[in-house]
Structure 1
Amino acid sequence: MKEIGKELAAYLDQKRLRASYASILHKVENDPDVRAFLQANQSKLATDAVSKGSAKLYEFVNEKEKIANNQETFAPGYYPRLIVNNHLIDITYEPQPEKMAADAAAAKDALVDAANMPKDFKDANLRDYDPAGREQALSEALSFVADYQPGQFSQGLYLTGNYGVGKTYLLGGIANALADRHIRTVILHVPTFSVEMRDAISDNSVLKRIHRIQDVPILVFDDIGGETLSPWFRDDVLGVILQYRMQERLATFFSSNLSMKNLQEFMAAGRNGQDDSLKANRIMARIKFLAKEVNIEGPDRRQQIVGRTN
C-alpha cells in the first residue's frame, strides 16, 4: 500500500503547512476508509495521486466526521465516497438512505395533487379505513387499485352518503395507493374549484385551467353538488371536462352528500326557476358512464376522531 502518511507529510512540508495541519494529517492517514480505498486501488492510482488528491482526502474525512456529529455538511443528505478518476483521487457524493427515503416520499406526494384538501385526506391509507357500514365501498376501492391499468378504462366510484362518513378519506386512500404505483391523481374540491374557475374568467385562463386537469390519469371531484349552482360552471366547465374524460375513457371519481338522483335534480335547476333537465341529463349521463354509485353508511368519522382526542 502507498505510504499515505509520508507522502502527505512531504506535500504539507513543501507547502510549509505541516505545523498547522498536523491534526489533519493524523486524521487522514489513520482513517480506515481512506486506507482501505488506497489498498484496493493502489494499482490504479498514479505515483503522486496522494499528494495531488490530499485536498480530496481531507474533504472526505471531514465530511464523514460532520455527518457522524450531525453537523451541517457540504451536501446535506449525501455521503462522500472516494473514487479513482483518471488515475487520481476524486470524491463523489451519494444519497444517504434517509435522503433516498425523503426523495421517494416527496416524489409520491407530487403524484397526488390535493390542494384545498384536509390533512387526513393526504395521510389517508386504505389499510386504516374502518369498514363498518362501508364494506362495499372499501371492497370497490381495493378492487379498483388492484385492477387499474393505465391506458385501459376502469369505471371509477361515485361515493354518496351523509357528511363525515368517510367518502373523502376513502378517495384519499385510493389516490395514495395509486401513487405507490407511480400513478398521478388530481383531486378537486368542487365548491372551491367552482369559485376559482369563476375568478379565472377575469384573466381569460378558464380553458388553460381545464386543459391542465382534464387528461390526468385519475381525476376526483370531491363534494360535487356542494357548490353554489351555476349553469355556466355546470355546462362550460364540468360538462367539458366530463365529456373529454368520457371520450378518452379516463378514470374519474366523485364524492357527494347527494345521491345521483338528487344530484340530477340539483343540476336541473336553472336561473330564475328555469328547468334545465335536458342539460342535467347530459351531465349525469357522463357521470354514470364514468363512475359506479356506492352508498357509504356508518358513524361520523370526524366525531370519532374528535372523541379520541378529547
Structure 2
Amino acid sequence: MEDMRKRIAMLMDSRQWRDRYFKMVKEALQDPEVQAFLKQHTGELADDAIDRGTAKIYEFVSERNKIARGELPLAPGYKPTLVAANGLIDVAYEPTDAKIAADEEAKQASLVTSVNMPKDIRGASLTNYDPTDERMDALLAANQFVLAVVADPKAFHQGLYLSGPFGVGKTYLLGAIANDLAEKGGIASTLIHVPTFVVEMKNAIGNNTVLPKIDRIKRAQVLILDDIGAESISPWVRDDVLGIILQYRMQEKMPTLFSSNKSMEDLTASLAGTDRGNSEMLKAKRIMERIHFLAKEVQVGGENRRNPLAD
C-alpha cells in the first residue's frame, strides 16, 4: 500500500512538473520577440519547426529574462538570439555590449607593457594632459607623433626625448602616448623605467638571461625608456645593454621615446662618466648619436606636480 502511495505521488509530481513546463513553453511561444521572429522567418521554417524547437524557444526567453533581471545566465557576457538554421529554430549567443567594451579595453591594455612604471599611467591620456605652464610644446609634439605613427605604422617616425625637472609630467605624457597609440591604432608599446631596468639587467647576469631580455626589449614595436640618466650608468650597461638596444632600433628605424631629468648635452657627460672622474666621451657620443637619430629633444617645464606642497 505504501509503495502504491509513493507511485501515485511520483506520478502527480511528474504531471505537475509537465504542466508547469507546458505552461512556461506556452508563455514563451506567446512572447512578442518570439512571435516577431516566427513571422519574419515563416518562409524559412519547416512545418514542424515550432514543435521541434519549443525547447530552444524556451531557452531563449528564459536566458533573456535572466539577463534582464540581473541574474547569472547560462553564458555570462553573451545574450541569446533566435536563428533559423536548416529549417529549424535554434539559439545563438552573441557578446553583449558590455562584454565587447570590456574585451576592447582588455585588448588595448594588453598592447601597453610597462616594466616598473607608475600605476597612474594606465589611465593616462593626451586629452587629459594639462597644457599649462611650459608643457604645450611637449603636448603638441606628442599628438603629432601619435597621429603620424597611427597613419603609417610601418614608416620610421622620430620619437621624443622629453627633458625637464622632476615631477613636471614627463612620465605621464609617455604613458598617454602609449595608451593613445593602443586606442587609435592598435599599436603596442613597451615602457621601461631605466634605473630599475639597469638593476634587473645586473641581476640577470647570474641566471644567464641578459641576452633574452635585451632581445625582447629591442624588438618592441614602440619602445619608451623613462628616466634615462637618473642614476649613473656603468660602462657595461651603456655599451652592452643600451648600446645594443639603441643600435638595433636605429638600424631597423623603430619608434623610440625617452624621458630624462637631463638635457641631451648633460646626458652625454653622464654617459661619459665625467661625474665619476672618468672620461669616455667617445663611447658616450656613440650612444648619443643613436639617441639623436631616434628622438628629438623637447623640454617639459612647469611646477612639480608630484609635490602637493609645491606652490
TM (norm. structure 1) is 0.88
Distance 2:276 2:161 in 1: 29
Distance in 2, Cα, partners of 1:38 & 1:238:
67
Q: Which residue of 2 aligns with 1:144?
A: 145
Gaps of 5+ in 2: 1-13
Distance in 1, Cα, partners of 2:290 & 2:241: 13
CA shift at 1:258, angstroms? 1.2
2:6 is aligned to none
Quote the residue 2:4 is aligned against.
none
Q: For 2:104 and 2:300, how far apart are their aligned partners in 1?
A: 33
Q: Deviations over 1:31-62 (max 9, x none)?
A: 11111111211221222222322221121111
Decide whether the 8 Å contact of 2:138 with 2:298 is kept in 1: yes
Letter aligned with residue 51 of structure 2: S
Q: How many residues are treated as equivalent by the alignment?
A: 292
Aligned partner of 2:251 among 231, 247, 252: 247
Task: Assess if the C-alpha contact under 8 Å between 1:194 and 1:227 holds in 2.
Answer: no
Moved more, 39-48 or 154-163: 39-48
CA distance in 2, matches of 1:55, 1:194: 63
Cα shift at 1:252: 0.7
Residue matched to 1:35: 35
More moved, 202-211 vs 176-185: 202-211
After TM superposition, the structure 1 = structure 2 runs for residues 151-300 of structure 1, keeping only pairs within 5 Å, are 151-179=154-182, 180-269=184-273, 273-300=277-304
Once the two structures are TM-superposed, the CA of residue 80 in structure 1 deviates from its matched residue by: 0.5
Deviation at 1:216, TM superposition (A): 2.2
Q: What is residue 115 of structure 1 aligned with on the other side?
A: 115
The CA distance in 1 between the partners of 2:187 and 2:128, in whole Å, is 21
2:25–2:54 CA contact under 8 A, matched in 1:
no
Contact preservation (8 Å) 2:232, 2:270: no
Distance of 2:93 and 2:79 partners within structure 1: 5
Counterparts of 2:71 and 2:122, CA distance in 1: 32
Question: Counterpart of 1:5?
Answer: none
1:227 CA drift (Å): 3.9
Work out whether 1:98 is the aligned partner of 2:98. Answer: yes
> Is the 8 Å Cα contact of residues 27 and 61 (structure 1) preserved in structure 2?
no
Shift of 1:82: 0.7
1:295 CA displacement: 1.3
Secondary structure of the residue aligned to 1:139 is helix
Q: Separation in 1 of the partners of 2:298 and 2:86?
A: 65
Q: Deviations over 1:60-92 (max 9, x none)?
A: 111101110111111112111111122111111
CA distance in 1, matches of 2:134, 2:253: 30
Gap change, CA 1:70 and 1:115, over 3 Å in 2: farther
CA gap 1:277/1:78 in 2 versus in 1, 3 angstroms: same
Q: Quick one: distance in 2 between partners of 1:197 and 1:32? A: 65
- Quote the Cα distance in structure 2 between the aligned partners of 1:97 and 1:174: 27
- Distance in 1 (CA, whole Å) between partners of 2:110 and 2:224 is 16
On the 8 A contact 2:77/2:98 being kept in 1, the answer is: yes
Q: Which amino acid aligns with 1:247?
A: Q
CA distance in 1, matches of 2:231, 2:61: 61
8 Å Cα contact 1:231-1:271 kept in structure 2: no
The yes-or-no answer on 1:87 pairing with 2:80 is no
SS at match of 1:258: coil
Structure 1: unaligned runs, 5 residues or longer: 1-14
Q: What secondary structure is seen at the aligned counterpart in 2 of 1:19?
A: helix
Q: Is the 8 A contact 1:156 1:291 kept in 2?
A: yes
Shift of 1:23: 4.0
Instruction: Name the CA distance, whole Å, in 2 between partners of 1:74 and 1:175.
Output: 37
Deviation at 1:115, TM superposition (A): 3.2
Q: Deviations over 1:133-192 (max 9, x none)?
A: 112111211211222221211111111111000101111111122112111111111112
Q: Report the AA paired with residue 239 of structure 1.
A: G
Q: Whole-Å Cα distance in 1 between the matches of residues 237 and 275 of structure 2?
A: 13
Runs of 4+ residues over 3 Å off in structure 1: 270-274
- Cα deviation for residue 276 of structure 1 reads 2.3
Instruction: Give 1:145's aligned amino acid.
Output: V
- 3-state SS of the aligned residue for 2:18? coil
| Aligned partners of 1:78 and 1:96 also within 8 Å | yes
Deviations 1:234-286 (A, max 9, x none): 11111100000000111110001111122112111289854322221111111
